[in-house]
Structure 1
Amino acid sequence: MGLMAKPMLVTLPFALMLLDYWPLKRLGFKGPTSEAHPWGACSPIQCVSEKLPLIILAAGSSAITVIAQSRWETVRVLEEISMSDRVSNALVAYIRYLGKAFWPTDLAVFYPLPDTIPVWQPIAAGSFIALILAAAIWVRHRYPWFLVGWLWFLGTLVPVIGIVQVGSQAMANRYAYVSFIGLFVIIAWGAGAIFKPLGRKAIVGIFAGLGVAACAYGTWQALRHWENSVLLFTHAIEVSDSHPIFHTNLAKALSDSGKKDEAIEHYKAAIALDPGLMVPRYSLAVLMSERGQTSEAIRELRSCLAQAARDGRPGSIPTVDILNIRFSLGTLLIMDGHIDEAVDQFESILSIERQSVPENILIDTRNNLGAVRLHQARPREAISHFEAVLRIDVSNPEALNNLGLARLQLGRLDEARDYFRMAVSNEPDYSEARQNAELLEARIQELDSQIGRMSHHLKLNPEHPALLYDMARLYRMRGNYEQSVYYFEQLLAMDPRNLPVLEQLAVVYDAQGNDDMVLNMLDRIVKLEPDRADVYYNLACLYSRQNRVAEAITSLETAIEKGYENWGQIRSDSDLVNIRNTDGYKEIIRQADSP
């Protein structure tokens, strides 16, 4: 139970061996059990074997602690802190712990590692520790409590003294509770040794009372700083060397209490102290985005990613942190109009192994990417992202609503209505989906009504071109592509050179995913109007989708020759992805970029 509550109790078996020496007097005693020696004699081997179960538990706890801390990237490797620096800090920390024990002022929640330690400090500290130890050994027969107390203090601090460096602290008050028992043993028995010969029990009582009162007052003073996180970290900044962790935690506390402006200043202070820290930069970016400072937030997030790229040690920055940064950056880039860069960030998230990406990030990334593709009028790509979301969370209302919007772009009104209804069913308070469902229902009813009236007119005049065209268009709008094709084909039979009908049929066949018929329609259009740059561009996209690279390049070159100038579309159109890495496409882009 003790190890689960406080792993530093791994030294308990060795502390118990000190108790075997004194006050139990088992070690070094020879002879039978007596009233003076009720515990009997104990050899060193027997003392160790008695505590072997505890030693095994301690070893297991130590291994688990190191492994767990390593996975959370808190164990510092030798490349970060050299062994000489660790030993120097450990020696100085022992003296600082002694100082806090006897003069507990300027207590802080965290004592940061110093950038440098003057050479004289560890030398002086080591000499002092060795001197006290030598004195304790010298008087061990007369004052065994002195040696036991000093070794207890030194030994129980070993796991947390910094030889195995966990985190960024040089020392911590919480580590001293068990170790200070050794010092209190020295104080208690030492006071007895000093005052007992004098026979002044009253003096001992007075000093003890004053000591307790002083400790009580110090405790009352210290507790004031623990009232809340703002007071705690403000005090830490006041009494200790300014450290970015103090400013970061204070900024978080201020932000949580609604003091955003003050929080921003402390995040900036943390960054000024250590520009390489990602947490304050990310948190600063979040606050800036909340205040509408999108460009500034983007700058900070880009700095976070740049720092991650500069860090040479694999795993030093948790994957989840990088994913959160990329997701936030992508979202802000969309808000700032940098769509292509936002897509790059989202796709970087999706390129990571699936099991390494938390489900919430994966869902939000897919939904955002799908929304971008919807905005770009690329509904099929959007659908693939939304369906991926539903494979993770089958009832995700945002994905269901977005699937409805994507189906709506494809003209599949009935399917869109079903998705809107499912979104509302899963989340009744989802106002956007409910509004979409209501508006679409009204639109479907209106189209059905118009189709009914048009059917009546066509019965009276079945070969009227305008009526046939309107009926075909209504069926296309309704998503009934088979009927739409039926009426357009009637018109085409009347006039094979009817350009509006050929264009409408190309749209309908594209909605059906019938690339061959789309190609047929475009070929017929271009024969009738050979200078149509937009038609050649659509031919290039179609050929690219079919992986007919040479024909796609030729059609794209022809489109540009005939005046197609939408270079943003040419550079980003997903329909051209199959030719984007070809020499022909690169040459087209190179010529466009040439002055």
Structure 2
Amino acid sequence: RIINAPLAYCTYLYQTLWPARLAVFYPHPGMIPGTRVGDYLWPAAGATVLLATITVLCVAAARRRPYLLVGWLWYLVTLLPVIGIMQVGEQSHADRFTYLPMIGVYVMAAWGLHDAISHRPALRGPAVVGSALVLVVLAASSWRQIGTWQNSRRLLEQAIAVTDRNYFAHQTLGNALLDSGDFEPAQRHLEEALRIKPDSAYALEQLGALLEQRGDRRAAADSYEKALRLGWKSFYARLHLAAIRRDEGNLDAAIALWTAELQDEPDNAQLRVDLGTALVQQRRYAEAIIHLRRLVELAPNAPEAHNALGVALAKHGQLNEAAVQFEQTLALSPGQPDATRNLHWVRAQGQDQDLGR
């Protein structure tokens, strides 16, 4: 982070003076496995020397041209919170961080130009023409850059084209392509993101989603598991991995995943029904009833919730309570086949018990 800070200061100046090869995301080299710190030591040292030289020159000129020191300190100080010493996010720098700090550089340029031409009237004409040309060039550059924001695909393809090892752009483009159903290019970009950054849990999750949609559920499960082992807190990955494990017959693994996710989302109705149903399959009726009662509290108007609770109660021998749940199901969804059949069965069981007495 310390090495990146002077590089970022100088990069912002360079990209302001020459706004080319701009991107929505610039990857931080320190976030990419295999990056060698030594490759950045000399550039960072050079950038530090340059920043120190400019600072010394501004201090030396402070009496005659105070605007230089004011503008330069404005730039250095206002950029400091987002320069990356306290890293927030995975970017090495970001264009949006320069909006306020660059006011200082513009003060230096504007007052410096005024100072130069005020003592040399002959320069006023060339200065006006030069300023006009600069504005035309910047307007053309802005028009061209705005075009890259036409849609996500174009924006991310631009980022990939002008930056190196941009795993973020690859994985985000892969996700966008996945959403649009372009599976093959989506898979290529997600795999490239993982080649650059194998510990990208987001790319692993998206690759899992893609493989699952293409029918390769075993490979999808492997991808989800890798993402979760990296500490990825994802409802989607856990829920889909649990569904795959359930369909494979591995209920223990599915229940463990649902239980873990329930710690983060205790009021998620889908989790409660999946977990409760699985526990019923394992004949752990008392545990299932706890989750399915909570499900009914979360979704009191859902007939499926009442029916699921009724099934668990019936299997646990609580026939009267089960009948109440099946009746509630039929009140919400008259003629529902499962609830109708279950209610008849419960009533028949109750009559048999009465006869037995």
Bin for the TM-score computed over the shorter chain: 0.7 to 0.9
Cα distance change, pair 434–142 in 1 and its aligned pair in 2 (3 A): same
Distance 1:249 1:146 in 2: 41
| Residue 344 of structure 1 pairs with residue 256 of structure 2 | yes
Deviation, 1:338, is: 1.9
8 A contact 2:187–2:207 mirrored in 1: yes
Select which of 312, 321, 331 maps to 2:243: 331
Cα distance change, pair 158–425 in 1 and its aligned pair in 2 (3 A): farther
Distance 2:75 2:102 in 1: 6
TM-score (norm 2): 0.86
Q: Deviations over 1:454-503 (max 9, x none)?
A: xxxxxxxxxxxxxxxxxxxxx984432433414xxxxxxxxxxxxxxxxx
Q: Deviations over 1:371-408 (max 9, x none)?
A: 12333455555333312323444444432121233355
The alignment partner of 1:167 has SS state of: coil
1:277-288 map, 5 Å: 277-288=200-211
Distance 1:256 1:284 in 2: 12
8 A contact 2:326–2:342 mirrored in 1: no
Deviation, 1:421, is: 4.7
8 A contact 2:323–2:347 mirrored in 1: no
TM-score (norm 1): 0.54
Which residue is 1:160 aligned to? 82
8 A contact 2:22–2:162 mirrored in 1: yes
Distance 1:413 1:102 in 2: 79
1:234-273 map, 5 Å: 234-273=157-196
Q: Tell which has more relative contact order, 1 or 2 (C-alpha 8 A, sep 6+).
A: 2
8 A contact 1:411–1:477 mirrored in 2: no
| Residue 107 of structure 1 pairs with residue 29 of structure 2 | no
Distance 1:252 1:160 in 2: 28
Which residue is 1:95 aligned to? 10
| Residue 382 of structure 1 pairs with residue 288 of structure 2 | yes
8 A contact 1:150–1:183 mirrored in 2: yes
Distance 2:222 2:297 in 1: 34
| 1:286 partner letter | A
Which residue is 2:306 aligned to? 400
The alignment partner of 2:92 has SS state of: strand
Cα distance change, pair 279–397 in 1 and its aligned pair in 2 (3 A): farther
Which residue is 2:98 aligned to? 176
Select which of 422, 432, 450 maps to 2:328: 422
Unaligned stretches of 5+ in structure 1? 1-85, 309-316, 448-474, 487-595
Over the matched positions of the two proteins, sequence identity in percent amounts to 31
Distance 1:376 1:144 in 2: 79
8 A contact 1:413–1:440 mirrored in 2: no
| 1:357 partner letter | E
Question: Which is further off, 150-159 or 400-409?
Answer: 400-409
Distance 1:204 1:424 in 2: 84
Which residue is 1:370 aligned to? 276
Distance 1:481 1:378 in 2: 25
Which residue is 2:223 aligned to? 300
The alignment partner of 1:118 has SS state of: helix
Deviation, 1:236, is: 0.8
The alignment partner of 1:268 has SS state of: helix
Distance 1:128 1:340 in 2: 61
Distance 2:129 2:331 in 1: 76
Q: CA RMSD in A?
A: 2.8
8 A contact 2:245–2:254 mirrored in 1: yes
Which residue is 1:212 aligned to? 135
Distance 1:347 1:152 in 2: 52
Select which of 327, 337, 355 maps to 1:435: 337
Q: Deviations over 1:75-131 (max 9, x none)?
A: xxxxxxxxxxx2221111111111001000010112111233422212211111111
Cα distance change, pair 130–373 in 1 and its aligned pair in 2 (3 A): closer
User: Could you say which structure has the larger radius of gyration?
Assistant: 1
Deviation, 1:223, is: 0.8
8 A contact 2:76–2:101 mirrored in 1: yes
Distance 2:287 2:350 in 1: 19
Q: Deviations over 1:503-548 (max 9, x none)?
A: xxxxxxxxxxxxxxxxxxxxxxxxxxxxxxxxxxxxxxxxxxxxxx
8 A contact 2:193–2:203 mirrored in 1: yes
| Residue 195 of structure 1 pairs with residue 117 of structure 2 | yes
Distance 2:102 2:287 in 1: 65
Deviation, 1:200, is: 4.1
8 A contact 1:411–1:478 mirrored in 2: no
Distance 1:161 1:401 in 2: 57
Unaligned stretches of 5+ in structure 2? 30-34
8 A contact 1:476–1:484 mirrored in 2: no
| 2:242 partner letter | G
